[in-house]
Amino acid sequence: MQLLHIFIKNPRLGYVKTRLAATVGNEEALRIYHILLEKTRDAGKSHGGARWLWYSDEVPDSDDWSTADFVKQVQFPGDLGERMSHAFREGFAAGATSAVIVGSDCPELSPKILAEAFSALETHDFTVGPTPDGGYYLLGMRTYQPAVFEQIVWSSEAVFPATIERMEALGATVHLLPILSDVDNETDWNAYLNR
Residue 119 C-alpha from the chain's centroid: 17
| pLDDT for position 67 | 95
Among the listed residues 183, 106, 169, the one whose alpha carbon sits nearest the alpha carbon of residue 139: 106
**Greatest CA separation found in the chain?**
46
Structural domain boundaries, residue 112: 2-194
Which runs of E-coded beta strand occur in the chain?
A: 2-8, 50-55, 71-74, 98-102, 126-130, 136-141, 174-176
CA distance 93 to 89: 6
Among the listed residues 7, 113, 104, the one whose alpha carbon sits nearest the alpha carbon of residue 52: 7
pLDDT in tens, 113-147: 999 999 999 999 999 999 999 999 999 999 999 99
> C-alpha distances in angstroms, 14 versus 27, 56, 174?
8, 14, 38
pLDDT in tens, 145-173: 999 999 999 989 999 999 999 999 999 99
| pLDDT for position 141 | 98
Query: At residue 111, what is the residue type?
Result: P
Q: Residue 14 pLDDT more than 90? A: yes
pLDDT in tens, 52-102: 999 999 999 999 999 999 999 999 999 999 999 999 999 999 999 999 999
Phi and psi, residue 121, nearest 5°: -70, -5
| pLDDT for position 195 | 86
A 10 A CB-CB count for 110 gives: 16
Q: Indicate which CATH number applies to the domain containing 112.
A: 3.90.550.10
Task: Indicate the number of domains in the chain.
Answer: 1
pLDDT in tens, 37-57: 999 999 999 999 999 999 999
What is the pLDDT of the chain when averaged over all its residues? 97
Among the listed residues 169, 6, 151, 157, the one whose alpha carbon sits nearest the alpha carbon of residue 84: 6
31, containing H or E segment: helix 26-45
Query: At residue 121, what is the residue type?
Result: L
Number of helical H runs and strand E runs in the chain:
6, 7
